[in-house]
Amino acid sequence: MIRVALLSKWHVHAVDYAREASENPSVSISKVWDEDVERGKIWAEELGVPFDDQLERVLSDPEIDGVIVTSPTNAHKEIITAAANHGKHIYTEKVLSFNRTDDEEIFSTIENAGVKFMISLPRLTSRYYLYAQKIINDGTLGTVNMIRCRVAHNGAVPNEDHKNGWLPERFFDKDQCGGGTLIDLGAHPIYLANRLAGEPKAVSAQLHSLMGRGVDDHSIATVEYESGILAVLESSFVSSGSPFQLEIYGTNGTLMVEGSEVRIKSRTHGMDEWTSPDLPPATRSPMQQWVDDILLQKNPDITKEDALRLTSVNEAAALSHKNDKRIIIE
């Protein structure tokens, strides 16, 4: 049994991870800490576990085996390195940090401590991603040259119930978040494209704000890869009714994913009309991969390189927008 402490309810996915942990027979939620004491106390009461307002005391507790980190992103480095130094296994929400240097310091601490780490990049376990990766690897699409991926919602659009939209106000705090829609929602297109296309080498980005709330709420990044693939990656907090989209274009075919619908045209499947292919089953969730790594020493599919490349593209995108130029990733 892995006894975990939940570290902050700041992120909107904190409740989801708490639910998944509570439903996993190999995980027991033992304690809650939150930088917002009142919020943390209420959450701990809802979960029926103790609340502790002292992070150091939580991390020093020998009864805690691991932590689930859903704090403000700007606190990740401090919290994660402290947890590692106390010998706690770490599960964290994306992104890991705001820059590659901090990422590497975090991983150095984790590796020196010998603890298990997992970052939540859930779309890498999805059926459509696994199918896309397989047909790229098999050469079904020929030479892949373009990828387009879009993840968007209307969280910043005012409605009858929320005058500023349903997304919490703290998601527009640049200091805490490091940015807006690209670093948050845009993480999904970025890590998907990184997996499908390989090593990113340059980024050009525009991070725009329709609502004028201090961070970007609709953004686009064009990423150039060492493989020669170009990826157009889109994210938005101000799009209503926008489906998830993943498009992969190659010399021998095209794959289209829109919402839950997957279609392919290729020399293998036929070019005259779309075919709906059979998809492989989804793989283990990031949390299950973390649990299996801790208890069974089963290597996870989501890796350190996924986290590092995600940060590299985000860091380059922010610099590209700020300096209005193409940024080469060193």
Mean pLDDT of 84-101: 98
- Give residue limits of the domains in the chain: 2-115, 123-284+298-328
Do residues 227 and 238 lie in contact, with contact meaning Cβ atoms separated by under 8 Å? no
Closest CA to 266 of 132, 123, 150: 132
Q: Report how far residue 167's alpha carbon sits from residue 15's, in angstroms, rounded to the nearest whole number.
A: 15
Shared fold status for 2-115 and 123-284+298-328 = no
| pLDDT at position 93 | 98
pLDDT(284) > 90? yes
- Give every strand in the sheet of 2-7, ordered side by side: 27-33, 2-7, 66-69, 89-93, 117-120
Alpha-carbon dihedral of residues 12, 17, 22, 25, nearest 10 degrees? Answer: 170
Mean pLDDT of 90-109: 98
Do residues 184 and 120 lie in contact, with contact meaning Cβ atoms separated by under 8 Å? no
CATH code for residues 123-284+298-328 = 3.30.360.10
Question: Environment class of residue 277 by beta-carbon count within 10 Å: exposed (0-12), middle (13-18) or buried (19+)?
Answer: middle
Residues 18-42: tens digit of each pLDDT? 999 999 999 999 999 999 999 999 9
The strand ranges marked E within the chain are 2-7, 27-33, 66-69, 89-93, 117-120, 144-152, 200-208, 218-225, 230-236, 245-250, 253-258, 261-266, 270-275, 327-328
pLDDT(292) > 90? yes
| pLDDT at position 330 | 86
Class of domain 2-115: alpha beta
Residues 297-314: tens digit of each pLDDT? 999 999 999 999 999 999
Integer CA distances (angstroms), 126 to 6, 101, 122, in order: 25, 30, 7
- What pTM was computed for the model? 0.96
Do residues 132 and 257 lie in contact, with contact meaning Cβ atoms separated by under 8 Å? yes
Give, rounded to a whole angstrom, the gap between the first and last alpha carbons of the chain. 42
Residues 220-257: tens digit of each pLDDT? 999 999 999 999 999 999 999 999 999 999 999 999 99
Beta partners for residue 248, in sequence order: 147, 255
Instruction: Return the SS3 of 201.
Output: strand
| pLDDT at position 296 | 97
| pLDDT at position 137 | 97
When the pLDDT of each residue in the chain is averaged and rounded to a whole number, the result is 97
Alpha-carbon dihedral of residues 156, 80, 201, 125, nearest 10 degrees? Answer: -70
Beta partners for residue 246, in sequence order: 149, 257
Cα maximum dimension of the chain: 64
| pLDDT at position 195 | 98
Closest CA to 15 of 35, 51, 42: 42
Q: Report how far residue 178's alpha carbon sits from residue 173's, in angstroms, rounded to the nearest whole number.
A: 8
Residue 294: pLDDT band with limits 50, 70, 90: very high
Q: Which helix (H) or strand (E) holds 119?
A: strand 117-120
pLDDT(3) > 90? yes
Q: Which residue has the tokens 């340059």?
A: 202
Cα atoms in the Cβ-side hemisphere of radius 13 Å centred on 105: 13
Chain length of the chain? 330
Residue 175 backbone dihedrals phi, psi, to 5 degrees: -65, -45
